[in-house]
Amino acid sequence: MTAHDSWAKVYDRAYKVSFGIFYKEFTELTLKVIQEETAQGLKVIDFGAGTGRLSCPLLELGFDVTAVDSSLEMLKELHSKDIKNRIKTHNEFMENFITNERYDFALCVFSVLTYLTDEQTLNKALSNLKECLHSGGLVLMDIPLPGAFKGLTYKSETLHRDVIVDKQNDVFNYRESIDVLNGNNWVNYSDEFKIRCWQSDLVLNKMKQLGFIIQKDLSERFLGTGALYFLFKLN
């Protein structure tokens, strides 16, 4: 079982409720940036697509979308929204993803890098990212900052959420417990996995070595997200 499999059915609800309007505004900002930087109809690949938070609206905006995620259960939720099966999906870890297709724009946002917990895995993932792009292709990537690696407690009348993040050497142990009111009964969902906080300079240097240049530093537009945001172009 991979990260998020156990609570994929309540993933969207948990985030929308616990983060409120910020969740909606953050998603809308990301979509706006994508629309500003690439043309409608081009081929977009969404790494760590999850339940389709970006993939589904991008499809409706006229893009040709491919979604990649390691969690089969999360992709099932995506398919439940994309009832005509217009989004191409791959149930694969980013570091293992290989394709003959070439894309115009790649997404690696919403903390995707944190799931790559050692440098060898990071290198493979970034190399695969490069290989799936056309020359001149663009990448929108976030690099979460250390301050983002913290716990969370949220309680409402219908949802209780507890997140504990403990540092263990170079990685963090992430534990999630969610109680959701279903009718008259509370149902618990839990998850546990490793994540890592990567130094931004290290990631930027690796992207440079792969032939990417920073097209734009978008970090100021994404203030409050706990991450740096960059638009890269492949030379």
> Which tens digit of pLDDT belongs to each residue from 33-59?
999 999 999 999 999 999 999 999 999
Tens of pLDDT along 52-109? 999 999 999 999 999 999 999 999 999 999 999 999 999 999 999 999 999 999 999 9
Closest CA to 139 of 210, 220, 62: 210
Burial class from Cβ neighbours inside 10 Å (0-12, 13-18, 19+) for residue 30 reads buried
User: What's the predicted TM-score (pTM) here?
Assistant: 0.97
DSSP state of 220: G
- Number of alpha helices (DSSP H) and beta strands (DSSP E) in the chain: 6, 11
Tokens at 49, concatenated:
């697509």
Residues whose CB is less than 8 angstroms from the CB of residue 160 and which lie 6 or more positions away in sequence, other chains included? 154, 178, 179
Q: How many CA atoms lie within 13 A of 7 on its CB side?
A: 21
What percentage of residues in the chain have a pLDDT greater than 90? 98
Strands 64-69 and 88-91, sheet pairing:
parallel
CB 119 within 8 A of CB 149: no
For residue 169, is pLDDT > 90? no
Give the helix ranges, DSSP H, for 43-192: 55-60, 72-81, 119-131
Tens of pLDDT along 131-156? 999 999 999 999 999 999 999 999 99
